[in-house]
A = this chain, B = another copy of it.
Amino acid sequence: MKKFEEKSFRSNSIFKGKVISLKVDDVILPNGKEAKREIINHPGAVAIIAITKEGKLVLVEQYRKALERSIIEIPAGKLEPGEKPEITARRELEEETGYGAHQLTYLQTFATSPGFADEIVHLFVAQDLYKIEEKADLDEDEFVELMEVTVEEAEQLVQEQKIYDAKTAFAVLWMKSCLTKK
C-alpha cells in the first residue's frame, strides 16, 4: 500500500546504537512540497500471551528507563538478526518466566509507534505450559519479577496503570474477549 507515498530524496543517519538507530529523511509529499521525517529503526520484537493450566496470565514486572518507572507486561523481547519470531518467542518465554509451551500459536503483528518508528511486535499465544528444569539465564542487564494473574486481576492492574503498555493492554482485552466467548 503506497497511497500518499513520501519518497526520500536525502537520508541522514544521525545515530546507530545497540538497540535503535535514528535517521532524518527529506521527503517529497504528495502535493510536491518537501518535509522532514525523523525515523527510528528497531530490530522488531515478539510478545507472548502465556496462559497457565489454571487459566492465569503470566506477567513480568520490570523497570523501563524510558518511562522512569517499573511496569507490568506480558513477556517480550527483541528479535536477533535473521531469527524467526517463533524461536525468539520460545526463548524469551523461557528466559523471563521459566516456562516452555507445548502449544505456541501466532496471533497477530502490529507496529507500535508508526508515527516515528518501524518497530513491529509479533504476538504469540502460549498454552499447555511446563516448567523448564534448568531455566535459561536472562540477559545480564535484565531484572524481572514474575507473577500470574486472573483476567479480573489483570483488569485491575490496567485500572491502576501498573499495566501500562499497548501490547499488554491488548493482551488483557484479548484474554477477556476469549473468556467471554466460552
Contact = CB atoms under 8 A, between A and B. Distances in A.
Contacts of A22: 14-15, 22
B71 A1 contact: yes
B14 A39 contact: no
A5 B40 contact: no
B116 A19 contact: yes
A66 B39 contact: yes
Interface string A44-65: 0100000000000000011111
Contacts of A65: 6, 8, 25, 27, 37, 39
Interface residues of A, number: 75
B111 A164 contact: yes
Given A3-B61, A15-B15, A65-B25, A117 B117 contact: yes
A40 B22 CA distance: 10
Nearest to A139: B35
A69 interface: yes
A6 B66 contact: no
Contacts of A24: 17
A41 B161 CA distance: 20
Interface string A150-182: 000000001001101111011001101100110
The number of times this chain is found in the oligomer is 2
A73 interface: yes
A10 interface: no
Contacts of A18: 36, 38
B112 A35 contact: no
Contacts of A20: 38, 40, 116
A93 interface: no
Nearest to A177: B177
18 contacts: A2-B63, A3-B63, A3-B145, A4-B143, A4-B144, A4-B145, A5-B70, A18-B38, A29-B143, A40-B117, A42-B116, A45-B115, A64-B111, A111-B164, A169-B170, A173-B174, A176-B177, A180-B181
